[in-house]
Amino acid sequence: MSDPERYTTARLAELFRVREQRAMAIIRLKEMEDKEDKEDKEDKGDKEDKGDNVDNGDKEGGDGASSIASEAARVMERAMRCTQGIGADERHHVELPSFPAYAEVDGDDVVAALEQVLEKKIADVTVDDITADVAARVLGTKSLREMEDVVAAREERHLVEEFKQRLDFNLGAGPTISRDSRRTKAVRRPKEGWSLLVTPIGKETKAKHERFVALPDGTRRGLTADERLYVERKTPRRRRKIL
């Protein structure tokens, strides 16, 4: 399953019966583990090439620490019952309110659809012929469970995309904002002055102008990739709410 083109995150989620977000997170964790193991091996090789004095005790201690960590991981997996090869078919579920819904339909269209579904003339149709399944096929409606599955699938697509964007941002993939530690003191004002992010407001300016950075010398420039990402993450997302 090392072929990313064939085994996409969606395919892996389907095979192992987990949500796609979980598959993404597991893959990223494994990539981080492989990267750390590779760096450790390279550091150990550099020390050996430089002829550093590393006694056998240190080497055994390093290997012992690695084996202890692996054994601890296995013990934790058994304790948390995380030994299953596949998931429990987790998925995003939506519960819609169940109340009567009414719609205006054309009588002639209903008669034509009923004759097509039952394959008989309207004069030969009896009350017993019109079941709930027949009525749903005639009116083109879906059951509550089917509608919940449709809404859940639509919401899940947005949730997966949002999770991927946040995962990329948190792990530093693509253009990112500086990840320096938070400052405990206010930043000093630059000699040339501050650069300000300007958001034009008003009905006319909203469609014609985009946000820009006003420089201290009076000129302006567009937003960089990091600044666009920062603004996008600060902008509240509209979410559909089911009332």
Checking if the pLDDT of 16 tops 70, the result is yes
Res. 20 pLDDT band, cuts 50 70 90: very high
Please tell me the predicted confidence (pLDDT) of residue 217: 92
Res. 75 pLDDT band, cuts 50 70 90: confident
Distance in angstroms (rounded) separating the CA atoms of residues 68 and 79: 16
Checking if the pLDDT of 24 tops 90, the result is yes
Residue 62's Cβ-side half-sphere holds a number of Cα atoms within 13 Å equal to 10
What is residue 151's three-state secondary structure?
A: helix
Please tell me the predicted confidence (pLDDT) of residue 160: 92
Distance in angstroms (rounded) separating the CA atoms of residues 139 and 150: 18
Checking if the pLDDT of 59 tops 60, the result is no
Checking if the pLDDT of 213 tops 50, the result is yes
Q: Torsion over CA of 50, 55, 61 and 66, rounded to 10 degrees?
A: 30
Mean pLDDT over 58-63 rounds to 50
Res. 57 pLDDT band, cuts 50 70 90: very low
- Which phi and psi (to 5°) does residue 119 adopt? 60, 45
Please tell me the predicted confidence (pLDDT) of residue 216: 92
**Distance, C-alpha 240 to centroid of its chain:** 17
- Mean pLDDT highest for which of 20-24, 111-115, 134-138? 20-24
Please tell me the predicted confidence (pLDDT) of residue 202: 74
Torsion region of 174: left, alpha or beta (phi above 0 gives left; psi -120 to 50 gives alpha): left
Domains of the chain: which residue ranges? 9-91, 92-174, 196-234
Residue 132 structure tokens: 């709930």
**Distance, C-alpha 57 to centroid of its chain:** 46
Q: Among residues of the chain, what percentage have pLDDT more than 70?
A: 79
Mean of the per-residue pLDDT values of the chain: 80
Other CB atoms within a 10 A radius of the CB of residue 198 amount to: 13
